[in-house]
Structure 1
Amino acid sequence: MIHQKRDLRRAMRAARLAHWQALPDAHRALIFGRPPRAILPLIDPAEVVGLYHAVPGEVPTERYAMHMLDLGKMIALPWTRDPSGPMTFRLWTGSHETLEKGPWGQQPHNAMPEVTPDALFMPLVAFDAALNRLGQGGGYYDRWCAAHPGTRRIGLGWTVQQADAVPTDDHDMPLDAVITEQQVLLPIHERILP
């Protein structure tokens, strides 16, 4: 299982970065402007929406953040003190001035309040039609989601990141939805056929 995940992670990271690099900057900025209508039942009840500060290759989330703030929702980003420590979420105002450099990139200042998102948009390395997610391999999101099972989990990825099947362990939790630039995947019983 470890080798399967490692090999899939390596292939999908390369595919994700190549896809992202091939997109013109203007096109990249326009994609993912606001959540699709099919996702609204997952986020409408949420007071706090968790996002992430995208690194090169990942789906950008800045426009989602601005849209959520316009709707009156609070935004939270992942925060960790050190690479081996647990991940929590802290409020983010939407301003780059309230970010600081953390172990994995930009994160809210330490002084920002810790919160629990009601809905969480998560980065991913790979996903499949059963809504299984393969992350970076550190287990941060897996541990956080296991401790907060009531939070709605929504993956953001590029279509090229869809695998035939993502290998899963007993602790892996499927997502409630996946959004790509071309489609929204929901659980089978919620899908609307054309």
Structure 2
Amino acid sequence: MMADAKKELRAEALLRRKEAFERHGPEASRLVAAQGLDFLGIKPEATVSGFAAIRDEINPAPLMTWLQAEGCKLALPVMQGRGKPLVMRLWSPGDVMAPAAWGIAEPTDDKPEVDPDVVLVPLLAFDARGYRLGYGGGFYDRTLNHLRKIKPIIAVGIAYDEQKVDAVPAESYDEKLDWVLTPSGPQKCQ
């Protein structure tokens, strides 16, 4: 059953990511930032939505700080509730944040909503096709689906190289990534 396959891979992927974090630490965030997003060919004024890293995720903050210095506008996701897509709100490093579920910090309600050009996506596992395994809430699948109906966007997973697997079990509602950015470099999804 698909749910069981995802649950099994999720447990394995959490352990694999934890081990990668212990092996690489903050250096992984610096290496991802050093890659930049030049490989996407985006305009300097593009809006890039990142995420506030939790647990042992690679922290995209150094990359986002660099993107802002390059002229990009930044945004972070805000949860609207179970079964709903995330809303992206403008954000800058140093902004006051609001506490939210699972210890995630979110931009405050006074920040304007935006439809980003690039969405940086956290994940537990990914494959060469661009399928990702998240925590199981479907927030990013709904968000990417919603944004892709509005405009062309680029979805970029942020991951350790060790998080790549042969195949992520995928269902019809699973949205694919366009790229995955790892410490060793960007990988275009097939």
Task: Give the C-alpha shift of residue 64 in structure 1.
Answer: 1.0
- Residues 92 and 103 (structure 1), Cα distance of their counterparts in 2 relative to 1, 3 Å cut: same
CA contact (8 A) 1:81 1:102 kept: no
Task: Give the C-alpha shift of residue 24 in structure 1.
Answer: 4.6
- Residues 80 and 144 (structure 1), Cα distance of their counterparts in 2 relative to 1, 3 Å cut: same
**Would you say 1:93 and 2:95 are equivalent positions?**
no
The whole-number CA distance in structure 2 between the counterparts of 1:161 and 1:112 is 33
Structure 1 gap segments, 5+ residues each: 189-194
Between Structure 1 and Structure 2, how many residues are aligned? 185
- Residue in 2 that maps onto 1:121: 120
Structure 2 gap segments, 5+ residues each: none
TM-score, scaled to structure 1: 0.87
Mapping of 1:27-106 within 5 angstroms?
Answer: 27-28=27-28, 30-36=30-36, 39-41=39-41, 43-44=42-43, 47-82=46-81, 86-95=85-94, 97-104=95-102, 105-106=104-105
The whole-number CA distance in structure 1 between the counterparts of 2:173 and 2:83 is 19
Counterpart residue type for residue 170 of structure 2: T
SS of alignment partner, residue 90 of structure 1: strand
CA contact (8 A) 2:48 2:74 kept: yes
- Residue in 1 that maps onto 2:22: 21
CA deviation vs aligned residue, 1:102-144 (integer Å, no higher than 9, x gap): 1231111111111111111111110011121111110000001
- Residue in 2 that maps onto 1:175: 177
TM-score, scaled to structure 2: 0.88
SS of alignment partner, residue 75 of structure 1: strand
**Would you say 1:145 and 2:144 are equivalent positions?**
yes
- Residues 40 and 84 (structure 1), Cα distance of their counterparts in 2 relative to 1, 3 Å cut: closer
Query: Alpha carbon RMSD of aligned pairs, Å?
Result: 2.0
